[in-house]
Amino acid sequence: MRRLSQKTWPARLESLYPSMDFVSSFAMGLGYDAGRIGEMELVLEEVFVNIIKYAYPGKEPGDVTITCSEDDGSLVLDVADAGVPFDLLAAADPDITAGVDERPVGGLGIYLIKKLADDVQYRRDGTWNRLTLAFFKNR
Amino acid sequence: MEITSEKGNGCTVVSVRGKIDAVTAPDFEKTLAGLLERGETVLLLNFASLEYISSAGLRSILAMAKALKAKGGKMLFAGLRGPVKEVFKISGFESIFKTFETAEEAQASL
C-alpha cells in the first residue's frame, strides 16, 4: 500500500517544529537514518521559513500544507502555499567562494535546499505554489 | 539552544549546545552582539555540542563576522561535526573561516 500523510499549518514560526516532527516521523516509518532525516528537517525549515517570510506579505499569514508520500523508494514532500508566486529554483546560486566582506548576508537557504534534496520541482498550480522535494534513502 | 561564554586564551570562547535554527538564531545573534558591545574582538565559537544549524544561523554568523572584522576582530570555529560540518562545507563557510578540530587547537593558533 502506498503511504501518504498530509497536514496543514498556519505559515508562522510556531508551526515550524510541529511540521518538522510530522515529516521526521514519516521518514522514520520508512526507515530513513537519523542523518538523512536531519537533512530533510533542514530543507523543510528553509522552505517553511521562506513561505513565512515571503508568501503572504502584509496580510494575515495563510496556510502551508505538507504532503508526505513514498514514491519508488524515495520520500516525496509536497509543500503547498496559496501565497504570491515564488519559484525558488529561479534564484541564482550564491558565490560560495566570496570572503566575509563580499558575501551578502542571506541567500544560503535556497542553496541548501538545492544541495540537500535529491530532486526539487516547482509549479504554480492555479493560486498555489507547489514545491515537490524528493529524498532518496541512500545518497 | 544553550549558550555559554567564558574568557579563553586571547579570545572569548562561546559554546553553543543544541540547534541554531530560525527559532533560536535571534538569541544566538543577540548573545554575540552583546559580546561585541562589551569590546570582545576575538570570538572562538565552540560547536562541539551543536547538532544542527540552518541558514538562519549562517546569516547571524556572517552578520557578526562582518561587524567583528570592521572592528579589527575575528571569529574562529572549533568542533564542527556531522550536519553542522556538512552545512559549513556546502555554504563555503569552511573556506572563509578558520576551523579547528578542538577549542584547544584553536586557542593554540592565536
Q: Please, where are the H alpha helices in A1-139?
A: 16-29, 34-54, 108-116
pLDDT of residue A115: 97
Say which residues have a Cβ less than 8 Å from residue A33's Cβ, sequence separation at least 6.
Answer: none
* Closest CA of chain B from A2, distance in Å: 30
A:B CB pairs within 8 Å = 70
> Which residues from chain A sit within 8 angstroms of residue B61, using beta carbons?
none
First-residue to last-residue Cα distance in chain A: 25
For B65-74, the pLDDT digits (tens) are 999 999 999 9
Q: Under an 8 A CB cutoff, do A111 and B90 touch?
A: yes
Distance of CA B73 to the CA centre of its chain: 13
> Which residues from chain A sit within 8 angstroms of residue B63, using beta carbons?
105
Mean pLDDT in residue range B92-102:
96
Q: Residue B57 pLDDT more than 90?
A: yes
User: Model-level pTM?
Assistant: 0.95
pLDDT of residue A105: 84
What integer best gives the mean pLDDT of chain B? 97
Burial of A59 (0-12, 13-18, 19+ CB in 10 A): exposed
Helix H or strand E segment including A10: strand A4-10
